[in-house]
Amino acid sequence: MVRIGELPTRLLALRYGADLVWGPEIVDKALVSGEKAQRVVNDHCQTIDFVKPPSNKVIFRLHPLEKGRLIFQLGSCNPELAVEAAKLVVNDVSAIDLNCGCPKHFSVHAGMGAGLLKNLDRLESILRALVEQVGQPNNIGISCKIRLLDTHEATLDMVRRLCKTGIRAITVHCRTTPMRNTEPAIRTSLRDIAEICHSYHVSILVNGDVDNRKMAKELCEEYGVDGAVIARAAEKNVSCFREEGLLPIQQVVKDYVKMCLEVDNNFGNTKYCLIQWMQGNFPKDIRQRAQVAKSYGQLLECFDLSWDRSSESQTVQSQKSKNYALFLSLYKNDNFLSTLCDENLLNLLSKNDCTKVIIHLNADTLSDTQEKAVQRLRKRGIRIELVDALHPLDAIISKANVVVCSSACESILAEADRKKKPVVKVFTRTTNSEEEKENSNALIADETPVIDQLRSCFEKNL
């Protein structure tokens, strides 16, 4: 949902019991037109930000708490742009969901959202491209959200076509495109849609007039669907996901303000959401003070709240992300810094929250090639720490989660063993010809590709 689907509301939804959360619809061009959005690790907020140069405006922000539960909602009418945008975020989200249900004029007019339901050939081409070029290579689900068509049979035919694209899930908003949200949802086709989806091993979620968790469970049982998506009810009170029922909106508002401070949410967005929730639920004087507030400090005063970043664990109620650090020795291993910038290795580092690489220098300075590799790592939001032979190995290796070094580095291997750090040993083959030297980046680790060794380290939850 636009505006209401930003990070603070998603985190609250998860706290209150949501199993999955969707981000706001992000149009592909917002990420890839002009200079592409950059992935940045935000140490201040403990978030991952996708920012757009040169203004560095935050397009999308996510939190480690959402790992395994965040669906990225993509707006697109072009297969190539959809794939390009999805590849930017694929390592930080759990699935990519193509929005084919938004009825707003700006979306339909551009051929996106519900506009795609009028051009099923284009819709199929986008989904197939996402499945084949993003979903399958990264083992991540591709899904879509649709609305009903004018007739029962037309809807079922559409669902069959979409299921054949290889998607893993479909969310069905049980209204047609022209219907307003105030009109009752139509569920007469839902059971038949569910049967078709399940015949293709595609999950189906129902949306439209789902008010709370209890109702969601009842709909799943009645229509044989796999889950339910709550939208408008969450806009009114995000605690609708609680098993125990709704919290007073006054409590939700206070939780929300603190969460917004915790993740440094855009102040304008915070005020917008607050004002929606406060209508009819707060005294007029408090609503007026909130409406004219120009800072978070003034909002805290409105609700008689105090907040201190040192109490963040109380606000977010989560463990910190692991923020892995990689120790990389260049001793007898000069080429590996460039090898580390292979796209697959970079994606692996990003996906596993590797936010720092400690580079153990083999010379006084980096070569031009190594400097370019460092810049590429930094563009991925990975911090770089350069250390030389004067730095004590025990202190350096203590800060790392994984040690990568040449098999000839006996002192480093011994220290890593004492510190019980996982080690990836890089073997370089003896090269004779110039051609072999140029290809010497094809390094192996214990006769297994380095990427597989690193993946194994991350999977062991170091």
On the question of pLDDT at 439 being above 50, the answer is no
Question: Which tokens sit at 349?
Answer: 């580092």
- Burial, 157: exposed, middle or buried (Cβ in 10 Å; 0-12, 13-18, 19+)? middle
Average the pLDDT over 233-261 and give the result: 92
Whole-number pLDDT of residue 428? 54
Q: Who contacts 236 (Cβ-Cβ below 8 Å, separation ≥6)?
A: 276, 277
Selected residue with higher pLDDT from 454 and 462 = 454
Q: Do β-strands 227-229 and 57-62 pair in parallel, antiparallel, or remain unpaired?
A: unpaired
Neighbours of 224 (CB within 10 A): 16
Residues listed for the chain:
462
Distances (CA, A) of 255 to 178, 252, 258, 322, 375: 36, 5, 5, 25, 39
Whole-number pLDDT of residue 454? 77
Question: Which tokens sit at 362?
Answer: 């083999």
Average the pLDDT over 417-436 and give the result: 68
Helix axes 7-16, 249-262, angle to 10 degrees: 130
Average the pLDDT over 437-450 and give the result: 47
Whole-number pLDDT of residue 319? 39
Of 88, 163, 153, the C-alpha closest to 123 is 163
Question: Could you give the 3-state DSSP secondary structure of residue 446?
Answer: coil
Q: Where are the chain's structural domains?
A: 7-247, 324-429+442-460
Q: How confident is residue 172, by pLDDT bands cut at 50, 70 and 90?
A: very high
Q: Do β-strands 169-176 and 354-360 pair in parallel, antiparallel, or remain unpaired?
A: unpaired
Q: How confident is residue 429, by pLDDT bands cut at 50, 70 and 90?
A: low
On the question of pLDDT at 168 being above 90, the answer is yes
Q: How confident is residue 408, by pLDDT bands cut at 50, 70 and 90?
A: confident
Whole-number pLDDT of residue 98? 98
Whole-number pLDDT of residue 121? 97
Q: Who contacts 344 (Cβ-Cβ below 8 Å, separation ≥6)?
A: 451
Q: What pTM does this model have?
A: 0.72
Q: Give one word for 119, left, alpha or beta, with left for phi > 0 and alpha for psi -120 to 50.
A: beta
Distances (CA, A) of 84 to 49, 108, 417: 18, 21, 42
CA atoms within a 13 Å half-sphere pointing along the CA-CB vector of 81: 17
Average the pLDDT over 212-218 and give the result: 94
Asked if residue 449 has a cis previous peptide bond (ω within 30° of 0), the answer is no
Residue 228 in contact with residue 216, Cβ under 8 Å?
yes
On the question of pLDDT at 212 being above 50, the answer is yes
For 13-69, the pLDDT digits (tens) are 999 999 999 999 999 999 999 999 999 988 888 899 999 998 999 999 999 889 889
For 373-394, the pLDDT digits (tens) are 887 787 666 778 888 877 888 8
CATH class of the structural domain 7-247: alpha beta
Residue 150 in contact with residue 101, Cβ under 8 Å?
no
Whole-number pLDDT of residue 381? 66
Instruction: Supply the DSSP string of 407-458, one letter for each residue.
Output: TT-HHHHHHHHHTT--EEEEE-----SHHHHHTTT--EETTEEHHHHHHHHH
Whole-number pLDDT of residue 440? 38
Domains 7-247 and 324-429+442-460 share a fold: no
Of 363, 344, 346, the C-alpha closest to 354 is 346
Residue 174 in contact with residue 190, Cβ under 8 Å?
yes
Q: How confident is residue 108, by pLDDT bands cut at 50, 70 and 90?
A: confident
Ranges 90-99, 221-230, 268-277, 384-393: which has the least confidence: 384-393
- From the candidates 77, 102, 341, 354, which is the catalytic residue? 102
Whole-number pLDDT of residue 379? 66
For tokens 């069905």, the residue is 172
On the question of pLDDT at 179 being above 90, the answer is yes
On the question of pLDDT at 368 being above 80, the answer is yes
Rounded to whole angstroms, how far apart are CA atoms 231 and 210? 8
Q: How confident is residue 441, by pLDDT bands cut at 50, 70 and 90?
A: very low
Ranges 312-326, 346-360, 382-396: which has the least confidence: 312-326
Selected residue with higher pLDDT from 317 and 340 = 340
Q: How confident is residue 433, by pLDDT bands cut at 50, 70 and 90?
A: very low
CATH of domain 324-429+442-460: 3.40.50.720
Q: How confident is residue 322, by pLDDT bands cut at 50, 70 and 90?
A: low
Among this protein's residues, is 102 annotated catalytic? Answer: yes
On the question of pLDDT at 158 being above 90, the answer is yes
Selected residue with higher pLDDT from 308 and 227 = 227
**What's the whole-number average pLDDT of the chain?**
86
Of 439, 410, 407, the C-alpha closest to 426 is 407
* Amino acid residing at 179: M
